[in-house]
Structure 1
Amino acid sequence: MNTTKNHSIQSVVRAATIIQLIADSPTPMMINQITEITDLNRTTVWRLLETLESLDYVERDPVTKGYQLGYAPYRLFTKTNLYGPLIRRARPILEKLRDETNETVLLSVPKHNGTLTIDQIDAPYSIRAINYVNKFLPSHCTSNGKILLSRLPSEELELILERPLKQVTSFTITETNQLKEEIEWIRKYGFSLTLREWDESENGISAAILDERDELIGFVSLLGPYHRLTKEKMIDLAPKLKDKANSIANLLK
């Protein structure tokens, strides 16, 4: 019993030490750096990192393979919402967008390999989107995720697209060249669509929130039932959505 207890405590200490190392590092840490500093063998470090990543305490950069903090530590240890300032400034604009469109409005931020929804204002209908707040969504089958892909350097995009694309619904794009064509379309027109690709009952449209250096801050999205929020309607709403995203960006300058 004592041996098992000591081993469990040792694992917790090691995991906590790794989290602290990553938190203190100004850049993502490579596994060999962590192994050298902790004086643990590579297999032990790899297993601990794999567990921490599955719990969202750390996340691995797909290009450098370095580790940095995930979202979970902020959610647990920050007394105020990490994204509180962005939510407070954006909400009046998002509420106006909801009133003008009568569809659910989402505010999201970029994460590695996907996006995190940080605020949602629901449509006034009984048939509407589920609550996506605090949900991590993949990049290849969501409208905000496709914008994230369109903003990536070509090297990083290629690395992501080398992996198999998960077939989430029967409408999900899983063919790499087809997705690349859509990414080029997004770069040309400045907004992104998803047509029943994440949820067979939903369509969505997103626009990017960019800072004064043209860096990606977040996304404004509209989400609704595919029979109500049609592709044609979303394209008509695109200028309005882009205008709201720009208004939020201007508030952050």
Structure 2
Amino acid sequence: MGQVPAARRALAVLRLLAGSAGPLPASAIARSLELPRSSTYHLLTAMAEDGFVSYVPEERRWGLGVAAFEIGSAYLRHGPLERLARPLLRRLVDRVGEIVQLGVLHGAETLYLLKEQPPRHATLVTDVGVRMPAQLTASGRSMLAHLPAAQVRALFPGPFVDRTGLGPASLRELRRELAGDARRGWSVEDGHITAGFASIAACSFDHTGHPTAAITVTFRRESRPEEGWPALAAAVRTTAADLTARLGGHPPARRPSR
């Protein structure tokens, strides 16, 4: 147990370096983490010996080491997001009787990682591994709604694409829709991807409050009147919140109006 404080300091160094634009001087690391300079140098030296940080002598700065990269790569190999989400998606399918998907942002696109559906249900174009324009999908918009305005602007310089003639056609329209989605806590698309189908999505967050993934329910438009959509959205939001808890995350602080 005597090693726990040292372990926490090492993890804090890794998180600080991971969130920095580049390597940092030891003095900046000590200041940011409120550590004594001497302890910081000893800690960095020990971490460098195990490959978790590396020293750039020409710049007198410290950055992440190869061991940190290997751990990140192993995380991706283990597929923890999918493993944590799959049982939640299955429970949501049982609850609502519709197709449920897990998507993540991949640049300006939504990438679908998982799909669960009831038996003998219609197949959708948004299958696992498929990418769709994020501004057209409920899952994409539910995540975009929690990104800084500058990041959204960088992702969508224009022109905007569409599949069915529906959806935002400009950055101004997209921002207006995202502001409404953020206030409501869920997103909806109605025929933007496939005519006759609608989707409702809610976002899950990581430990920094950053949007990590979105859970989406997709259904035939004619089978669910609009007055029932808020109740469906509540079930989706509950599942997204459960995934956030499994990820050790939390919702972000409220952003100023876009």
Compute the TM-score of the two structures, normalised by the length of structure 1.
0.63
Q: 1:88 to 1:241 in 2, by over 3 A?
A: same
Structure number with greater Rg is 2
The separation in 2 between residues aligned to 1:85 and 1:157, in whole angstroms, is: 27
Gaps of 5+ in 2: 1-19, 23-72, 249-258
After superposition, residues 1-253 of structure 1 pair within 5 angstroms as 82=77, 84-130=79-125, 132-253=127-248
Cα offset for 1:173?
A: 2.8
Residue type of the partner of 1:142?
T
The separation in 2 between residues aligned to 1:138 and 1:82, in whole angstroms, is: 26
The separation in 1 between residues aligned to 2:223 and 2:118, in whole angstroms, is: 12
What does residue 71 of structure 1 align with?
Answer: none
Residue type of the partner of 1:99?
D
Aligned length in residues: 179
Between 180-189 and 224-233, the greater mean CA deviation after superposition: 224-233
Q: Aligned-pair RMSD on alpha carbons?
A: 2.5
DSSP 3-state at the match of 1:214: coil
Residue type of the partner of 1:185?
G
Note if contact 2:143-2:213 (Cα within 8 Å) is conserved in structure 1: no
The separation in 2 between residues aligned to 1:83 and 1:231, in whole angstroms, is: 39
Residue type of the partner of 1:118?
L
The separation in 1 between residues aligned to 2:134 and 2:241, in whole angstroms, is: 22
DSSP 3-state at the match of 1:117: strand
Cα offset for 1:205?
A: 0.8
Deviation per residue, 1:18-48 (Å, 9 max, x gap): xxxxxxxx979xxxxxxxxxxxxxxxxxxxx
Q: 1:27 to 1:83 in 2, by over 3 A?
A: farther
What does residue 40 of structure 1 align with?
Answer: none
Compute the TM-score of the two structures, normalised by the length of structure 2.
0.62
Residue type of the partner of 2:124?
A
The separation in 2 between residues aligned to 1:80 and 1:230, in whole angstroms, is: 41
Q: 1:133 to 1:230 in 2, by over 3 A?
A: farther
Cα offset for 1:104?
A: 0.2
Note if contact 2:111-2:132 (Cα within 8 Å) is conserved in structure 1: yes
Between 217-226 and 147-156, the greater mean CA deviation after superposition: 147-156
Deviation per residue, 1:161-181 (Å, 9 max, x gap): 441211210323324433222
The separation in 2 between residues aligned to 1:138 and 1:177, in whole angstroms, is: 17
Gaps of 5+ in 1: 1-25, 29-77
Q: List 4+ stretches of structure 1 deviating above 6 A.
A: 78-81
What does residue 26 of structure 2 align with?
Answer: none
DSSP 3-state at the match of 1:212: coil
What does residue 70 of structure 2 align with?
Answer: none
